Amino acid sequence: MSDPSAPTDSASPPAPAHPEGLLREVAALPSLPGVYRYFDAAGAVLYVGKARNLKKRVSTYFQRSHDGTRIGHMVSRIVRMETTVVRSEAEALLLENNLIKTLAPKFNILFRDDKSYPYLRLGRLPTRAEQGLDAEPGAAAPRGPADPGLYPRMSYYRGAVDKKQQYFGPYPGAWAVKESIQLMQKVFKLRTCEDTVFANRTRPCLLFQIKRCSGPCVQLISVADYAADVRRAARFLDGDTQAVLDDLQARMMAHAEALAFEQAAEVRNQLSALSRVLHQQAVDNVADTDVDVLAVKVQGGRACVNLAMVRGGRHLGDRPYFPTHVEDALVLGDDDDADAALAMPDVAQRVLEAFVAQHYTQSPPPPVLVVGAPVSPGLLAALTEQTGVRISAVAQPREHRRIWLDMAQTNADLQLARLLAEEGSQQARTRALAQALDLPPDGLAALRIECFDISHTAGESTQASCVVFEGHQMQSAQYRRYNIDGITPGDDYAAMRQVLTRRYGKLAEALRESGGQLDQAGGQRMPDLVLVDGGKGQVSMAREVFVSLGLDVSLIVGVEKGEGRKVGLEELVFADGRDKVYLGKDSAALMLVAQIRDEAHRFAITGMRSQRAKVRTGGSRLEDIPGVGPKRRAKLLQRFGGVKGVGDASVADLMTVDGISAELADAIYRALH
């Protein structure tokens, strides 16, 4: 290793000075796989990386000068390092991505955690004995109460999977699951109703009438035949389409030879429906059952990775992902070769590798990835070791895979263009509002606006909301709700006084103690603008609070409804005595104000409704229970004296009501608790 402090010629500027202790720590690193973390003087995490050889990898940062480069910008700020030795590169990959998501380092490309992917779920198939395989095939079972457990339900599911059910997916979104469910209803006529609804049916529902269900709730199909339809649906979802078609063809011919023409016609209709679906899926190919297609687009300092999912040979749709820290992230590989490590690979490749590493350590990967940029073999090997799935990547696909990739790339281009347009529009709105209110034009990205709204139902469950706009976008993680109590029900002015006092009381005290010199006091920054959803009355109340706290009243702006409360006629009311301002119906500034105001209103409404549901057991909750119609509801209310009495009753008490079975009593109890 060369001495960083050794003199160099003008063509090679001196390497940045680092603490001697840090350099000794680098020299003492083991030649083992692990994860390293760099910190700056303030203790903030700069970068998290992994390596097959810690000593070789980390040394590349300190062996030579990186002045004038983005690498050098980061290296010059390193004052401390932490390393963790692991047993394999796969463990290093897992730890690295957990730390990236936890610490959000400035120089790492970060894909935020999204909600889990949805699945299509099929219930457990009944055993051979439960299916009644000795019964005559095609013969309907005798009428009577049907057992939901004998007729597996098809449903949308999101969450942890278990071995008791059959799961198909994951799907890119809820719409893709619902589309598949509709397909299964058309072709295989599987039920989708809840078990409580199924168990209380006395006649088939509308889905049976429109030929979307085979009527298992009233046993219009035998358990064995329904189970056969479930197996065919599962094979179709697994991509075994041809086998399903051959099976249906054989059944149709068998019915025709037995002169069972009605049954043969039903199977023929199934074949026709399935054939239409397959023809509509123009990009389907049964040769590839499970494939993920990844296209990447980088432009304007932002990036988009578009993930298209193929499951069971069917193209299910796609979902875009937008990473953060792309502008500040180092475009550095994790190759342990010094020259390769210091090379600057294509930004799109770096973004794509970051997505693959972070996404597939959390979600199950398919065996094949069709990618728009090369992916490191080392990364694929580590993922294979970590997930147990042998993963291969195809960077230059042909035939149908090329079609899939072209579609994904087009969607990535469109999604990123939409994002850039939206961000540009938001920035224009922020500038327009700053001009309208005579705010400083510099540093608009740091402009912070907080907006308050009050919501209640006739004075009940009053809640106040505070939403935050900063960095040209709504900051949902900083939203807050405040339960309002100790006031006259329905007094919105008192509610506004309380929420503003609670929001800014401690902050004002901290500012007074610091002499007003702190940009951030108590971990919270004073906003540049405080929006109040209301006119002169609410603004006057906010002014009183700010005066009592010693805060600047010029920050307060009220959003007053226009004539007839029509949208676009709102006026801005100021607490410091300035004249009202009408921005204009098509004003970009008004659009931003309305966006923030509407978000505060939405946030307050949802909080109020949730709080109201907690403090009372509404009649609507009783009406929403499957199997409880008007007559049973009337009997329950009469027996227990009201909704509260029904909520306080035990399962045994509920069973004493005429028409309430043990299963229904249990369902009522669980719904109300």
Tell me: pLDDT of 7 over 60: no
Query: Where residue 296 sits, what CATH number does that domain have?
Result: 3.30.420
pTM of the predicted protein model: 0.58
466 to each of 126, 609, 626, how far by Cα in Å?
52, 16, 37
Q: Do 343 and 405 fall within a single domain?
A: yes
Q: How far apart are CA 273 and CA 271, in angstroms?
A: 6
SS3 label, residue 85: strand
pLDDT band, very low/low/confident/very high, at 132 (cuts 50, 70, 90): low
**CA 255 remoteness from chain centre:** 48
End-to-end CA distance of the chain: 68
Q: Do 343 and 408 fall within a single domain?
A: yes
Note down the domain range covering 353. 291-417
**Residue 138, pLDDT score:** 52
**Is the dihedral angle over the CA atoms 80, 84, 88, 94 positive or is it negative?**
negative
- Asked if the structure places residue 273 within a domain, the reply is no
- Asked if the structure places residue 195 within a domain, the reply is yes
**Residue 571, pLDDT score:** 85
Query: pLDDT of 47-58, one tens digit each?
Result: 888 888 888 888
Residue whose pair of structure tokens reads 């004073």 in the numeric block? 526
Query: pLDDT of 267-283, one tens digit each?
Result: 777 677 666 555 444 44
Q: Do 452 and 583 fall within a single domain?
A: yes
Q: Which of residues 382, 417, 452 is at a domain's end? A: 417
| Percent of the chain at pLDDT exceeding 90 | 7
- Asked if the structure places residue 363 within a domain, the reply is yes
Tell me: pLDDT of 469 over 90: yes
Query: Where residue 473 sits, what CATH number does that domain have?
Result: 3.30.420.340
- Asked if the structure places residue 371 within a domain, the reply is yes
- Asked if the structure places residue 97 within a domain, the reply is yes
Tell me: pLDDT of 328 over 80: no
- For residue 364, is the peptide bond before it cis, meaning its omega torsion is within 30 degrees of 0? no
- Asked if the structure places residue 317 within a domain, the reply is yes
Q: Do 350 and 387 fall within a single domain?
A: yes
Q: How far apart are CA 431 and CA 453, in angstroms?
A: 24
pLDDT band, very low/low/confident/very high, at 342 (cuts 50, 70, 90): very low
Q: Pick the more confident residue, 460 or 343.
A: 460
Q: Which of residues 103, 138, 156 is at a domain's end? A: 103
| Percent of the chain at pLDDT exceeding 70 | 81
Residue 532 pairs with which residues in a beta bridge?
452, 558
Q: Pick the more confident residue, 620 or 8.
A: 620
Q: Do 607 and 628 fall within a single domain?
A: no
Query: pLDDT of 652-666, one tens digit each?
Result: 888 888 888 888 888
Domain count, the chain: 5
- Asked if the structure places residue 578 within a domain, the reply is yes
**Residue 247, pLDDT score:** 74
Q: Do 505 and 591 fall within a single domain?
A: yes
Q: Do 137 and 191 fall within a single domain?
A: yes
**Residue 350, pLDDT score:** 84
User: Which is nearest to 112 in space by CA: 318, 325, 295?
Assistant: 325
Q: Do 481 and 599 fall within a single domain?
A: yes
Regarding beta strands 314-321 and 556-560, do their DSSP bridges make them parallel or antiparallel, or are they unpaired?
unpaired
Q: Do 452 and 488 fall within a single domain?
A: yes
User: Which is nearest to 230 in space by CA: 140, 152, 164?
Assistant: 152
Q: Show the CA angle centred on residue 562, arms to residues 560 and 568, nearest 5°.
A: 100
Give me the chain's average pLDDT, please: 78
The H or E element containing residue 566 is: none
- Asked if the structure places residue 520 within a domain, the reply is no
Mean pLDDT within 450-472: 84
Q: Do 215 and 181 fall within a single domain?
A: yes
Q: What burial class does residue 224 get, using C-beta atoms within 10 Å of its C-beta: 0-12 exposed, 13-18 middle, 19+ buried?
A: buried
Query: pLDDT of 371-396, one tens digit each?
Result: 998 888 888 888 888 888 888 999 88
Tell me: pLDDT of 347 over 60: yes
Q: Do 464 and 483 fall within a single domain?
A: yes
Q: Which of residues 568, 587, 611 is at a domain's end? A: 611
Q: Do 626 and 602 fall within a single domain?
A: no
